[in-house]
A and B are shown apart, each in its own frame.
Chain A
Amino acid sequence: MNIVVPIKMVPDLVEELVIDASGARLEPDALRLKLNEFDDHAIEQAILLKEKGAGQVSVVAPDIEGVDDALFTAAAKGADRLIKLTGNWNNGVNNHALARVFANFIKTLRPELILTGVQAHNDLDGAVGPQLAEHLGMAYVGYVSGVIISDKAQVRKEFPGGLIAEMQVALPAVLGIQAAEKPPRYVPISKVRAVMKTAKIETFPAMELETAGAPLSVRLFQPETGTRATMLAGDADTVATRLVEIFKERGVL
């Protein structure tokens, strides 16, 4: 089975987020990017399926800073093909454009199953998964935390209130992974280094970015602090007197 895992890099929140001079986006130079945590789970789920005999895993990512490390780490875990899509990513990309880029390229791989992170903390315009499924005309199930493959996919999905559903999905399909069946594994640096010497990252040009459909952010700002509480000092009588005055000033009494 041909499994494709589209991944994206997101800002690492260990670093401060800086708003740029335009006031509408994050300063790219201050960003440190990391693999979206849910995509890491999607990779793990794909490798687990491969280890159960489900075939080949291709990981596809936009060619941006830090992505080589993410791809080589995926290869050290067992991914077969590493693919970078080159394009004009410098000004950032919204999920509408990213889903179109992924769909346009991934259809050439003829996947039977697409696993991707169910969400990312920088999803301002919906998740990638459902949009990708729409473009490819495939079924989509999100918030998946377990997959069994036969001629169909049997997926496990958590609902609020402690309910777990198991459902069958006809293939090909896109699954939004919330959690892999096992937590993403640790790969020793020596293994990643060895893979860097042998594995190859393939590059393909991405289609022109089409951002239509997504909202435009006009202003980004830190949460604004409201007026803080005032502590009244003094003995009980003084505090009570002042409290009554304040209530009268505000028209409560």
Chain B
Amino acid sequence: MTIPTMTNPSFNETFYASLQTPPTGERVRTCLQCGMCSGVCPFGYLMDYPPGRMIAALRSEIFDRVMNADTVWMCVACYACTEVCPSGIPLTEKLMTRAKEELILAGKVPAELQLALENSQRYGNVLGQSPRKRADWTKGIQATVPVFGKDKKAAAVLWYVGDYASYHPRVQTTSRALAKILNTLGVDFAILGSDESGDGDSQRLAGERGLFGVLATKNGQAFRKYEFDEVITTDPHAFNALKNVYPTLGISFPVRHYTQFLAERLDQLKPLLKQSVNGKITFHDPCYLGRANNIYDEPRALLRVIPGAELVEMPHSGKTSLCCGGGGGGMWLDGFQWEKAHTRTSEWRIREALMSGATTLAVACPYEPPRFEDAIKTIREASGMEVRDVVELLAESME
């Protein structure tokens, strides 16, 4: 496929202009070239053009060189660059994502990512599973999981489950754990079942904005069919999409991450937690809960009420948390990224968890249990490390 934009001298100009949409986009002009973004980026050291150099290339009108390099696919949209930028430039949302959008439009899509995008297009879930089986994880479990349309028309809470929590065998465990807790707390809730589609946020941050729009519209239509007061989800990516991006498409519903929802019910939850945990726990702040949405305290508050829990912190925590590598399309670029880096940020993270003295790595995002458990398999000293979603630790403590 030809890339007409490459030879057109105005591409540099139009791309630069497209970044500068208010209210924050014009800050790109205030880049100091301090290099903090490139330094903090988990893969900045091997990118031909890390964020700072991309802006330098735009200013020098040689952005076509950036478009001919493929290392922008190393960006895991973790918000580390955005967080440290002293000029407040929306590097993740604008610069990196726009560059990926242009690559996708030019047909330069790594094969692994292509499959994930095609699956989302065709089946509404990135795993390429039957959309009819979206609620199959609820079969054969003790907890009751009502489905909107089938069991109820109205409920206080709409639980948006998401792709991985619906289909991935490891992540289904977190869904079952939340189902158990919602049942025990007597929460009036329901899920969308096969009416639900993937949230599309990571597809958007991988540069497929059109696909994001299609998925968001489908979810918006499903939400509007039923009555509920708020949406909760175990998925920070879905939370981010529903909270910050769906409203720009006219799809506005109150949404909270489950850690916020449960932290509000600590008094009710505390007496139910009976089993104590052994060893120290460290919490990995998911990028889209922490840096992107400033939620740091609620998951820790939930962990602290588990009997015997001793919380320790890793060298990178809170605002400086280190990405698991799954964001911005990274979840579907494992082979590509391995070829470039010969390491994974998830492995780096497991070494940090070991350094903290913890034996349990607590997480709160569906990308993380499979990524970190895979990383553990590659690190001999980590064989005793357990990965648990916060909700799994709570449910286990109830037994």
A contact residues vs B (CB 8 Å cutoff): 14-16, 34, 51, 183, 185-186, 188-191, 193
Q: Is the CB of B209 within 8 A of A15?
A: no
The contact of A188 among B2, B129, B210, by CB within 8 Å, is B210
The contact of B211 among A14, A183, A185, A188, by CB within 8 Å, is A188
Q: What number of B residues sit within 8 Å (CB to CB) of A?
A: 23
Q: Is the CB of A14 within 8 A of B210?
A: no
A109–B104 Cα distance when bound, in Å, is 34
Which chain A positions have C-beta within 8 A of B213? 189
Is B111 in the interface zone, CB < 8 Å from A?
A: yes
Which chain A positions have C-beta within 8 A of B208? 188-189
Q: Is the CB of A34 within 8 A of B122?
A: yes
Which chain A positions have C-beta within 8 A of B122? 34
Which chain A positions have C-beta within 8 A of B118? 186
Q: Is the CB of B211 within 8 A of A186?
A: no
Q: Is the CB of A186 within 8 A of B132?
A: no
Q: Is the CB of A15 within 8 A of B132?
A: yes
The contact of A183 among B2, B111, B123, by CB within 8 Å, is B111
Chain A, residue nearest B114 (CB) = A186
Is B173 in the interface zone, CB < 8 Å from A?
A: no
The contact of A186 among B2, B117, B214, by CB within 8 Å, is B117
Is B128 in the interface zone, CB < 8 Å from A?
A: yes
The contact of A185 among B1, B2, B123, B128, by CB within 8 Å, is B1
- A34-B122, A186-B114 known, 19 other contacts, Cβ within 8 Å: A14-B123, A14-B128, A14-B129, A15-B130, A15-B132, A16-B130, A51-B1, A51-B2, A183-B111, A185-B1, A185-B107, A185-B109, A186-B109, A186-B117, A188-B208, A188-B210, A188-B211, A189-B208, A190-B105
Which chain A positions have C-beta within 8 A of B209? 190
Which chain B positions have C-beta within 8 A of A15? 130, 132
The contact of B105 among A34, A183, A188, A193, by CB within 8 Å, is A188
29 A-B pairs (CB sep. < 8 Å): A14-B123, A14-B129, A14-B130, A15-B132, A16-B130, A34-B122, A51-B1, A51-B2, A185-B107, A186-B104, A186-B107, A186-B109, A186-B117, A186-B118, A188-B105, A188-B208, A188-B210, A188-B211, A189-B121, A189-B208, A189-B210, A189-B213, A189-B214, A190-B105, A190-B209, A190-B210, A191-B105, A191-B210, A193-B210
Query: Restricting to B98-126, which residues have a CB under 8 Å from any CB of A?
Result: 104-105, 107, 109, 111, 114, 117-118, 121-123
The contact of A189 among B107, B130, B211, by CB within 8 Å, is B211
Which chain A positions have C-beta within 8 A of B123? 14
| Best-surrounded residue of A16, A34, A190 (most CB of chain B within 10 A) | A190
Taking the closest CB of chain B, its distance from the CB of A26, in whole angstroms, is 16
Taking the closest CB of chain A, its distance from the CB of B10, in whole angstroms, is 20
B contact residues vs A (CB 8 Å cutoff): 1-2, 104-105, 107, 109, 111, 114, 117-118, 121-123, 128-130, 132, 208-211, 213-214
A189–B105 Cα distance when bound, in Å, is 10
The 10 A-B pairs at the shortest CB distance, nearest first, are namely: A189-B210, A190-B210, A186-B114, A186-B109, A189-B211, A14-B130, A15-B130, A188-B104, A185-B107, A188-B210
Taking the closest CB of chain A, its distance from the CB of B214, in whole angstroms, is 6
Chain B, residue nearest A77 (CB) = B1
Which chain A positions have C-beta within 8 A of B104? 186, 188
A51–B107 Cα distance when bound, in Å, is 14
Which chain A positions have C-beta within 8 A of B129? 14
| Best-surrounded residue of A15, A51, A186, A191 (most CB of chain B within 10 A) | A186
A14–B134 Cα distance when bound, in Å, is 12
Chain A, residue nearest B115 (CB) = A186
A185–B107 Cα distance when bound, in Å, is 7
Which chain A positions have C-beta within 8 A of B111? 183
A186–B101 Cα distance when bound, in Å, is 13
Taking the closest CB of chain A, its distance from the CB of B47, in whole angstroms, is 22
Taking the closest CB of chain A, its distance from the CB of B63, in whole angstroms, is 20
| Best-surrounded residue of A34, A51, A188 (most CB of chain B within 10 A) | A188
A92–B78 Cα distance when bound, in Å, is 49
Chain A, residue nearest B2 (CB) = A51
A185–B130 Cα distance when bound, in Å, is 23
A13–B213 Cα distance when bound, in Å, is 27
A84–B356 Cα distance when bound, in Å, is 64
Which chain A positions have C-beta within 8 A of B128? 14
A188–B107 Cα distance when bound, in Å, is 8
A186–B214 Cα distance when bound, in Å, is 16
Which chain B positions have C-beta within 8 A of A51? 1-2
A183–B114 Cα distance when bound, in Å, is 11
A14–B122 Cα distance when bound, in Å, is 11
Chain B, residue nearest A16 (CB) = B130
Which chain B positions have C-beta within 8 A of A193? 210
A183–B118 Cα distance when bound, in Å, is 13
Which chain B positions have C-beta within 8 A of A191? 105, 210
Which chain A positions have C-beta within 8 A of B107? 185-186
A189–B117 Cα distance when bound, in Å, is 10
A175–B213 Cα distance when bound, in Å, is 39
A238–B122 Cα distance when bound, in Å, is 56
A15–B136 Cα distance when bound, in Å, is 13
Which chain B positions have C-beta within 8 A of A14? 123, 128-130
Chain A, residue nearest B119 (CB) = A14
A14–B211 Cα distance when bound, in Å, is 21
Which chain A positions have C-beta within 8 A of B210? 188-191, 193
Which chain A positions have C-beta within 8 A of B105? 188, 190-191
